Amino acid sequence: MGDYGFRISKDEYDVKTCDDKNCVITSKYNTLKGTLTGSGSISNLASEGNTTITINHSLGYIPFVKGFLNPTNSVDFGNVYYQLPIWIDDLTDHLYSRIYATTTQVKIYVEQWNADNNTRNYNYKYFIFIDKGKL
């Protein structure tokens, strides 16, 4: 075994002597290393509306991103964070949201409609993984 940094082996395998295929993770190969994170809220999104949140980054490449959305005042969707993309549709509410990245920005798009014509509020969280890897 060479000196690669760190290794975590599967159950019943000795991390010091096992083959790479018996590791859960090893830094010998590219892994997601580090993130830029943030959160915020969207207030008073109209009963039939959409918005895009723009987060600037200066990485110079398209990073891997993860996003989560929490409908704060919806009885139908509960008080939880949903991983993006999300599409929820029932008789009274419709919610669609996705996250995507460019070489300079991460964008979270939120579209919603509701039958009661009330505004909706959402919290969001995002993670930008900053290891370029072999892109």
Partners of residue 45 on adjacent β-strands:
120
Domains annotated on the chain, with CATH: 1-29 (no CATH), 35-129 (2.60.40)
CB-based contact 52:114 (threshold 8 Å):
no
Question: What is the model's pTM?
Answer: 0.74
For 62-102, the pLDDT digits (tens) are 999 999 999 876 555 667 889 999 998 877 778 899 999 99
Percent of the chain's residues with pLDDT above 90: 42
CB-based contact 29:134 (threshold 8 Å):
no
Q: What is the DSSP letter of 21?
A: G
